[in-house]
């Protein structure tokens, strides 16, 4: 099939590359000429394991192309996917749909023959109806349907999630659109991946509900960790005991410094606003947002306690600043709260992150960047683990402590056993373990 992908951000680029690997002919469209030229040269603008190899393979097979010419791409397509950003709108927490609606207007001017216009961006309930209204108003004679196809990709594991999904959700209102979407995802039927067809509104809400529920699990286990710290319980044992219950499951029950990234913060905010707009407040989600914001600030207090109440004049090595490992994404990362607080408190902050500097250098002024963990810890008064990159999971603790002025560690991802850290001479604190 002929597919156009409008937008080459994280979702658009990963989806376009993976669709081409299914055997479809995919044209990815972006309105930034410099970005398009880099993509044509095979340069991947984001860090996602395996994406560069898959992109190069499909470009070489002439199944994947990049262009700034939206009109030509749309005119030749059986399906046009809208995969532009829907950031949180300043001031009210709503999803900003400016780019979605502008894409709809441009698509309307270039439709030729029957086309399914598919919204892959995360959008509030009712957005796809508005996309259809915009296109019909601009192109009354156009032969098209609108579908909703939310993404469920984890950064750092996006290709695996796309190729072996738990489910594919498609909202549509016609048999023709359903047939087109079924054909697009037909390669997954060989792997028996379930495809759930729904109405437009249900598909839109499934995405928000799923992300809000996962954010709630993270926030819940973080609050249980706080309770563990004052009762003597161990959060790892508590989380394992909960997770072994099949009704609960073990995923997203890992205590830490709070959630971040491109999805959970903006999607929980948008869902809360949707509830308020419809006079059905989603009070659990509103509480999750508040607790998670407080969580990040509480991590600063843990570090201050480790350092005797003040970091002024002290050297702090921070291991990991991206919101999770295996990505270069800094959006709403806990480090954006923690590092500025340390710098503002008078600390010399030295950062190590395998992929974080490209985005983080401008976001975390006042800190220095280092390639090697032991080098960053030289003469340090404390080490703070914020992101659980594999590179930090098996450090030589004795060597690390020997390099430091004061062997103290705030392990905010619980990647080390307390006895091991203390056995290496560290003053050690973690999350939810007394």
pLDDT band at 110 (very low <50, low <70, confident <90, very high): very high
Instruction: Give the domain 207-434 fold.
Output: Rossmann fold (3.40.50)
Three-state DSSP class for 36? helix
Give pTM, 2 decimals.
Answer: 0.93
The pair of structure tokens assigned to 10 is: 């994280």
The enclosing H or E element of 67 equals strand 64-67
d(CA 389, CA 325): 5
Binding-site residues from annotation for NAD(+) = 30, 35, 86, 122, 155, 266, 331
Q: Is 267 helix (H, G, I), strand (E, B) or coil?
A: helix
Q: Which residues contact 377 (CB under 8 A, 6 or more apart)?
A: 317, 350, 383, 400, 403, 404
Shared fold status for 2-198 and 207-434 = yes
Q: Which residue stretches of 170-313 are H helix?
A: 175-184, 186-189, 200-231, 235-243, 264-277, 283-306
CA angle 207, 1, 166 (to 5 degrees): 30
For residues 406 and 422, what is the distance between their CA atoms, to the nearest angstrom? Answer: 13
Residue 20: per-residue pLDDT = 98
280 contacts: CB under 8 Å, gap ≥ 6: none
User: What is the reported pLDDT for 227?
Assistant: 97
List pLDDT tens digits, range 56-68.
999 999 999 999 9
Give the mean pLDDT of the chain.
96
Confidence of residue 353 (pLDDT cuts 50, 70, 90): very high
pLDDT at residue 120 is higher than 90 = yes
**pLDDT above 70: percentage of residues in the chain:** 100
- Average pLDDT (215-233) is 97
Binding residues for substrate, as ranges, are 152-155, 207, 252-256, 260, 324
pLDDT(123) > 90: yes
- What is the CATH class of 2-198? alpha beta
Question: What is the gyration radius of the CA atoms in the chain, in angstroms?
Answer: 23
Ordered by start, the domain boundaries in the chain are 2-198, 207-434
Assess whether pLDDT exceeds 80 at residue 434: no
18 is catalytic: no
- Tell me the pLDDT tens digit for each residue of 296-323: 999 999 999 999 999 999 999 999 999 9
Is 90 exceeded by the pLDDT of residue 90?
no
Rounded CA separation 222/239 (Å): 10
Measured between alpha carbons, how far is residue 345 from residues 67, 75, 314, 348 in Å?
Answer: 47, 57, 9, 9
**Binding site: which residues?**
30, 35, 86, 122, 152-155, 207, 252-256, 260, 266, 324, 331
pLDDT at 160 over 80: yes
If DSSP codes are grouped into helix, strand and coil, which group holds residue 3? strand
Strand partners, 170: 197
Tell me: pLDDT of 235 over 80.
yes
In the predicted structure, residue 267 carries a pLDDT above the cut 80: yes
- Report pLDDT for 91: 79
pLDDT at 189: 82
**List 18, 228, 263, 307, catalytic entry:** 263
Question: What would the mean pLDDT of 63-84 be, rounded to a whole number?
Answer: 97
How far is Cα 246 from Cα 227, in angstroms, rounded to an integer? 24
Q: Indicate if the pLDDT at residue 356 is higher than 90.
A: yes
**On the CB side of 44, how many CA atoms lie within 13 Å of its CA?**
20
How many other C-beta atoms are found inside a 10 Å radius of the C-beta of residue 334? 24
| pLDDT (mean) for 291-300 | 97
pLDDT in tens, 388-406: 999 999 999 999 999 999 9
pLDDT score at 89: 86
> What is the pLDDT, as a whole number, of residue 93?
82
pLDDT at 148: 98
Element (H, E) at 12: helix 10-21
pLDDT of residue 345: 97
């Amino acid at each position: 099939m002929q597919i156009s992908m409008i937008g080459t951000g994280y979702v658009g680029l990963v989806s376009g590359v993976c669709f081409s690997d299914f055997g479809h002919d995919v044209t990815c469209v972006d309105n930034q000429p410099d970005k398009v030229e880099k993509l044509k040269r095979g340069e991947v603008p984001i860090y996602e394991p395996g994406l560069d190899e898959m992109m190069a393979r499909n470009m070489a097979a002439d199944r994947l192309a990049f262009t700034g010419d939206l009109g030509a791409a749309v005119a030749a397509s059986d399906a046009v996917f809208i995969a532009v950003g829907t950031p949180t709108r300043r001031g009210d927490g709503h999803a900003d749909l400016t780019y979605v609606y502008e894409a709809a207007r441009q698509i309307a001017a270039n439709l030729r023959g029957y086309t399914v216009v598919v919204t892959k961006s995360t959008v509030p309930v009712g957005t796809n109806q508005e996309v259809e209204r915009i296109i019909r108003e601009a192109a009354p004679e156009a032969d098209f349907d609108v579908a909703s196809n939310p993404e469920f990709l984890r950064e750092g594991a996006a290709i695996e999630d796309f190729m072996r999904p738990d489910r594919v959700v498609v909202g549509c209102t016609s048999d023709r659109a359903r047939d087109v979407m079924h054909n697009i995802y037909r390669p997954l039927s060989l792997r028996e991946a379930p495809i759930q067809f729904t109405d437009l509104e249900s598909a839109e809400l499934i995405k928000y509900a799923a992300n809000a529920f996962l954010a709630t699990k993270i926030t819940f286990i973080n609050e249980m960790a706080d309770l563990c710290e004052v009762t003597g319980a161990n959060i790892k044992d508590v989380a394992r005991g909960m997770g072994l219950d099949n009704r609960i499951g073990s995923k997203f029950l890992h205590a830490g410094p709070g959630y971040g990234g491109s999805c959970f913060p903006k999607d929980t905010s948008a869902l809360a606003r949707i509830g308020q707009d419809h006079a059905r407040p989603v009070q659990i989600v509103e509480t999750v947002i508040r607790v998670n914001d407080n969580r990040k600030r509480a991590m600063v207090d843990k570090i201050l306690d480790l350092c005797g109440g003040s970091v002024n004049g002290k050297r702090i090595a921070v291991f990991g600043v991206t919101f999770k490992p295996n990505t270069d994404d800094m959006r709403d990362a806990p480090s954006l709260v923690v590092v500025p607080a340390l710098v503002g408190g008078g600390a010399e902050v030295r950062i190590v992150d395998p992929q974080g500097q490209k985005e983080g250098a401008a976001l975390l002024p006042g800190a220095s960047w280092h390639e090697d963990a032991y080098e960053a810890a030289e003469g340090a008064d404390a080490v703070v683990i914020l992101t659980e990159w594999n590179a930090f999971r098996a450090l030589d603790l004795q060597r690390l402590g020997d390099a430091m002025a004061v062997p103290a560690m705030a392990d905010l991802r619980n990647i080390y056993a307390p006895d091991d850290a203390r056995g290496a001479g560290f003053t050690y604190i973690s999350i939810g373990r007394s």
